[in-house]
């Protein structure tokens, strides 16, 4: 390729650049989503050594090569980190694509300028969203905005402020976020990726998605050593799992998409209902239970406020048909009304310590499988449920009594199974 050329076709791009050979196959669908602007936002999260930053740098260089009017904006919270972290990655990406001589590298402010057309890859700090006002390329538009280490940003509102300024007039622009998930499951970016907004996709990767030789045996040795000596640290650092702040109750969660085949295979199902009082919502949940594997699977949810008995009964029929729905015994009048509407409702038995023992039972299962796309409220409540803290901020062995509506609904649904376990241990 000569210095005054840009890629003119998909065939030329793939033949000349061999782009698909430069990143792990796990990123192929993400690359095409960005290339064809099939998404507005792409979240790439994962542990150490997952190749996400190298992939993002390749996307940035390719965005310039594909379109003569395209520019790229790369952001990280602190400007001082860009020169030593992101800039070398972009230079290496240009080298991998065999176009490095076509780019002029500038250090202050850090940027890459494509010599044939003057297009730029700008690197800027994102610590003050107000600085982004008026930020625009000299020619053309931003086709890609890449937030590296996006979890460093203080809030989603800060990011939105930058995007609104930088992408004015760029209808086909894509925002790309790369980050290692923070350990705290309630961190704003972890919550966002549980249920990506319309037009967004999230991809989770880890070092095992890359060819082993790309990372080297020493990397694999260190990962395996940490897995043996500190499993929790390994899960967060290498697998990219939000393992909690040290006080997470449910460390047995498996948050991932569920296929229709998997949900259809759950033949033993339980339905639970937690009644809402005052401002609390009613929480109706459906669960699949595999006793042999000690695995609970969230299948469906309906969480809403202000429903009358008839609407609630209709939701129960829709979700579970004539199956028994195990209800909070605190409102026998409402249970009676539901029965009069044809609902097969049964009140659970409560007693001293029943809440604590049932939560403990859930936390000791082999797995609780939750698809955040199917059951977002269940995913949020279970992943953020942490032990209480004392006045010094230290965790104590007590469960909070808030933001637990689907957890209570699950406890009621599984009350018969929990009672069997309790009876066997007496």
Q: What's 139's domain CATH number?
A: 3.40.50.300
Kindly state whether residues 147 and 76 are assigned to the same domain: yes
Are 208 and 290 found together in one domain? no
Q: How far apart are CA 315 and CA 309, in angstroms?
A: 10
pLDDT at 276: 86
Count how many domains the chain has. Answer: 2
Domain annotation covers residue 259: yes
> What count of Cα atoms within 13 Å lies in the side-chain half-sphere of residue 426?
7
Its domain, for residue 264, covers 253-425
pLDDT at 4: 39
Residues 295 and 388 in one domain: yes
Q: How far is CA 204 from the centre of its chain?
A: 7
pLDDT recorded at residue 9 = 43
Same domain for 288 and 203: no
Both 30 and 112 in one domain: the answer is yes
How far, rounded to the nearest angstrom, does the alpha carbon of residue 270 sit from its chain's CA centroid? Answer: 27
Q: What are phi and psi of 282, to 5 degrees?
A: -75, 140
What's the average pLDDT block by block, 10 residues per block, for the chain (426 residues)? 42 57 94 93 94 96 93 88 88 94 92 95 81 73 93 85 77 90 84 88 94 95 89 86 77 88 92 87 95 95 90 94 92 92 92 86 93 92 86 78 94 88 42
Same-domain check for residues 191 and 319: no
Task: Return the axis-axis angle of helices 28-35 and 52-66, rounded to nearest 10°.
Answer: 30
Among residues 263, 313, 305, which one has the least CA distance to residue 288?
A: 263
Give the integer Cα–Cα distance in Å for 341 and 142.
Answer: 58
Q: Is residue 3 in a domain?
A: no
Residue 11: which residues within 8 A CB-CB, separation 6 or more? Answer: none
Report the pLDDT value the prediction gives residue 241, as an integer from 0 to 100. Answer: 85
In the chain the first and final C-alpha atoms are separated, in Å, by 77
Assigned domain for 99 exists = yes
> Residue 421's domain is classified under what CATH number?
3.30.420.280
pTM (whole model) above 0.85: no
Give, in degrees to the nearest 5, the angle at Cα 370 between 155 and 347: 115
Cα 228 versus chain centre, distance:
26
| Contact (CB, 8 A) for 71 and 141 | yes
Environment class of 83 (CB within 10 Å of its CB; exposed 0-12, middle 13-18, buried 19+):
middle
Task: Please check whether residues 276 and 189 belong to one and the same domain.
Answer: no
Residue 378 lies in a domain: yes
316 with 207, same domain? no
Integer Cα distance of 125 and 79 in angstroms = 4
What is the per-residue pLDDT for 1? 37
Same domain, 282 and 204: no
In a domain, 1, yes or no: no
Longest CA span, the chain: 80
- Are residues 294 and 148 part of one domain? no
Which residues sit opposite 32 in a β-bridge? Answer: none
149 is catalytic: yes
* Residue at token pair 């009358």: 308
96 shares a domain with 16: yes
Phi, psi (5° rounding) for residue 87?
A: -55, -45
The residue among 217, 235, 261 that closes a domain is 217
Among the listed residues 149, 237, 239, 301, the single catalytic one is: 149
Do 83 and 124 contact (CB within 8 A), yes or no? no
Angle between helices 354-363 and 415-425 (to 10 degrees): 90
**Same-domain pairing of 124 and 266:** no
Q: Which residue has the tokens 């622009």?
A: 173
């Amino acid at each position: 390729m000569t210095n005054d050329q840009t890629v003119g076709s998909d065939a030329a791009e793939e033949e000349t650049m061999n782009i698909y050979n430069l990143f792990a196959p796990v990123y192929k669908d993400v690359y095409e989503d960005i290339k064809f602007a099939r998404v507005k936002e792409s979240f790439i999260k994962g542990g150490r050594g997952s190749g996400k930053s190298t992939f993002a740098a390749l996307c940035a260089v390719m965005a310039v090569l594909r379109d003569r009017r395209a520019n790229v904006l790369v952001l990280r919270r602190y400007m001082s980190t860009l020169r030593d972290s992101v800039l070398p990655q972009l230079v290496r990406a240009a080298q991998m694509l065999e176009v490095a001589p076509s780019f002029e590298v500038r250090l202050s402010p850090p940027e890459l300028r494509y010599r044939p057309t003057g297009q730029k890859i700008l690197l800027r700090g994102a610590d003050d969203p107000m600085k982004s006002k008026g930020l625009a390329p000299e020619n053309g538009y931003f086709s890609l905005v890449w937030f590296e280490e996006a979890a460093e940003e203080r809030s989603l509102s800060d990011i939105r402020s930058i995007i609104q300024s930088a992408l004015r007039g760029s209808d086909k622009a894509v925002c790309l976020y790369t980050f290692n998930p923070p350990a705290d499951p309630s961190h704003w970016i972890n919550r966002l990726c549980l249920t990506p907004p319309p037009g967004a996709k999230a991809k989770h990767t880890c070092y095992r998605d890359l060819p082993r030789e790309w990372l080297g045996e020493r990397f694999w040795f260190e990962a395996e050593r940490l897995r043996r000596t500190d499993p929790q640290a390994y899960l967060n650092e290498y697998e990219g799992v939000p393992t909690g702040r040290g006080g997470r109750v449910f460390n047995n969660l498996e948050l991932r998409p569920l296929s229709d085949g998997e949900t259809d295979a759950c033949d033993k199902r339980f339905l639970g209902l937690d009644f809402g009082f005052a401002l609390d919502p009613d929480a109706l949940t459906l669960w699949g239970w595999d006793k042999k594997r000690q695995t609970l699977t969230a299948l469906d949810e309906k969480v809403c406020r202000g429903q009358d008995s008839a609407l609630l009964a209709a939701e129960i029929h829709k979700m579970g048909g004539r199956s028994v729905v195990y209800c909070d015994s605190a409102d026998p009048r409402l249970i009676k009304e539901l029965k009069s509407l044809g609902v097969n409702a049964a009140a659970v038995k409560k007693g001293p310590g029943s809440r604590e023992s049932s939560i403990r039972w859930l936390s000791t299962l082999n797995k609780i499988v939750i698809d955040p796309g199917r059951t977002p409220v269940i995913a949020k409540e279970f992943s953020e449920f942490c032990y209480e803290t004392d006045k010094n901020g230290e965790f104590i062995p007590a469960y909070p009594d808030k933001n637990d509506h689907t957890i209570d609904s699950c406890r009621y649904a599984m009350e018969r199974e929990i009672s069997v376990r309790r009876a066997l241990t007496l």
